[in-house]
Amino acid sequence: MADSAVRQTAALTGTRERSSARTYQVRTYGCQMNVHDSERLAGLLEAAGYRKAADGSDADIVVFNTCAVRENADNKLYGNLSHLAPRKNADPDMQIAVGGCLAQKDRDAVLKRAPWVDVVFGTHNIGSLPALLDRARHNRVAQVEIVEALEEFPSALPAVRESAYAAWVSVSVGCNNTCTFCIVPALRGKEVDRRPGDVLAEVTSLVDQGVLEITLLGQNVNAYGVSFADPDQPRDRGAFAKLLRACGRIDGLERVRFTSPHPAEFTDDVIEAMAETPNVCPTLHMPLQSGSDRILKAMRRSYRAERYLGIIDRVRAAIPHAAITTDLIVGFPGETEEDFQATLDVVERARFASAFTFQYSKRPGTPAAELDEQVPKHVVAERYQRLIDLQERISLEENTALIGSTVELLVATGEGRKDAATARMSGRARDGRLVHFHPDGLPIRPGDVVTTTITGAAPHHLIADSAIAAHRRTRAGDAHAAGVGPRTGVGLGMPGIGAPTEPQMSTGCSR
């Protein structure tokens, strides 16, 4: 058939011409875990023959990797699904898939509210996505597959990394805690840890491809070692400190970060490893949630304010210039003005570099959702603003104190909204602070490393308009300029869990 005839037929049937490779787009909501899972979804689709859709173009397949933590997660998802409904009606071969935590929680409800969705999959079986898409396309009926337990570590799956210079590496999946505000354990399952050798093999593979910085990921990352998937691997409460030190022995790995540790699991051997391992960055993100012991107890957070502050004191004694950040929840059920004042007091004492602050969000399925004394929204909003004002003052004071200091920056991309207007570029200092700097006419690329001096400060960033003292071109910068990202997940010797599944286009499943 002539090309014009093909185009005419496509117009009459409401479908589009398709290239030999179907295109995909992954839309991600939520935490770093979801961002990393989306890299695996991209890797799975590319391994199955799909290619990433160009920015601004319509994809043949749109995958939503969802979050269920915030109250507006449902509205955001179904609003975006509604926007795609006309496209789906016009082009029945276009496919929509919904995965992640909200899919795990809502299951069949997704199809009831958005019957034009083709595939629904959960947190434990992202590896099934290509096969489910094929099955839905062949059978012309939606496919829903939600499994209840992890069958294989998600790190065994192929991953297309978004960054050429920085990468996530999961050390564990799941969570053993029972925080009353959190639905994650019900959706991600019990904690299971990877073998140290598998973690280090993945890190080494990334570094061999030019990556300079890795972030070790876990729901409670410093609890690593409590439950290895390998039954021959004994429980080891010191495993996380050992892992940090082992990362310090990997040639070419310049920066190591980790998130998020739990205060109840924080031990001095981790502080010692942080201080004594040169490539472990002087930064710590440790969720506080509330400064009130009464509210911490109601949240089932197994520490109290003084223990939390004691950890900070010991970290700063060992690493004086450590930048410490946190998570805070305002308006937990039963929170009084006295409780909230206790949070303000701890924030004042802790001197956080920055804080992720949240208004309490009632989530069905969590114990906190059933508690009495839900705090009125206007009260929550007023307290939230007071907390924001306090933390912004502290952040500005801490950042202002850095004016005149010399910083080493790993040049980043997409981190500064004002870059085009000011001709500045952006990078992250070793302590994690965002710095907007002037390139001084040098051919600097994301992934390169520069040294400069801080000249200005704001609550959420620093300014460096001084001359560049040093610029080091890196393999990561070469890869970024060439548009090449590292790939991992195949051949790293990850263990399977449970009985083998039926062979599919791609193997494995996730959290």
Q: Residue 7 above 60 pLDDT?
A: no
pTM given for the model: 0.83
Residues contacting residue 18 through CB under 8 Å, at least 6 positions apart: 60, 93
What is the model's pLDDT at position 422?
72
Q: Which helix H or strand E contains 64, and what residues bound it?
A: strand 61-66
Q: Give the mean model confidence (pLDDT) for residues 44-49.
A: 92
What is the model's pLDDT at position 191?
87
Q: Residue 3 above 70 pLDDT?
A: no
DSSP per-residue codes, 129-144: HHHHHHHHHHHTS-EE
Q: Give the mean model confidence (pLDDT) for residues 233-248.
A: 93
Token digits of residue 292: 């009130």
Q: Which helix H or strand E contains 386, and what residues bound it?
A: helix 377-400
What is the model's pLDDT at position 488?
82
- C-alpha distance across the termini of the chain, in Å: 47
What are the chain's domains? 23-145 (3.40.50.12160), 154-401 (3.80.30.20), 405-485 (2.40.50.140)
Q: How far is CA 387 from the centre of its chain?
A: 24
Q: Residue 126 above 80 pLDDT?
A: yes
Q: How far apart are CA 55 and CA 213, in angstroms?
A: 26
What is the model's pLDDT at position 417?
57
**Residue 281 assigned ligand-binding role:** no
Q: How far apart are CA 476 and CA 212, in angstroms?
A: 7
Higher per-residue pLDDT: 367 or 123:
367
What is the model's pLDDT at position 353?
98
Q: Residue 243 above 70 pLDDT?
A: yes
Q: How far apart are CA 414 and CA 437, in angstroms?
A: 14
Which pLDDT tens digit goes with each residue over 387-401? 999 999 999 999 999
Q: Give the mean model confidence (pLDDT) for residues 437-447.
A: 94
What is the model's pLDDT at position 329?
97
* Closest residue by Cα to residue 134 from 287, 22, 59, 257: 22
DSSP per-residue codes, 115-178: TT--EEE-TT-GGGHHHHHHHHHHHTS-EEE--SS--B-GGGS-EE-S-SSEEEEESEE-----
Which of the residue ranges 143-147, 286-290, 364-368 has the most confident prediction, judged by mean pLDDT? 286-290
Token digits of residue 348: 């004042």
What is the model's pLDDT at position 182?
86
Q: Residue 439 above 90 pLDDT?
A: yes
Supply the mean pLDDT for the chain: 87
Which pLDDT tens digit goes with each residue over 401-413? 999 999 999 999 8
Q: Give the mean model confidence (pLDDT) for residues 346-354.
A: 98
Least confident piece of the model among 30-44, 48-62, 214-228, 338-352? 30-44
Q: Residue 419 above 80 pLDDT?
A: no
Report angle CA 397, 398, 399 to the nearest 5 degrees: 90
Per DSSP bridges, beta strands 462-464 and 434-437 are parallel
**Residue 509 assigned ligand-binding role:** no
What is the model's pLDDT at position 497?
32
Which pLDDT tens digit goes with each residue over 281-323? 999 999 999 999 999 999 999 999 999 999 999 999 999 999 9
Q: Residue 10 above 70 pLDDT?
A: no
Position 17 confidence tier, pLDDT thresholds 50, 70, 90: very low
> Which of left, alpha, beta for 98 (phi over 0: left; psi -120 to 50: alpha)?
beta
Report the percentage of the chain scoring pLDDT > 90: 66
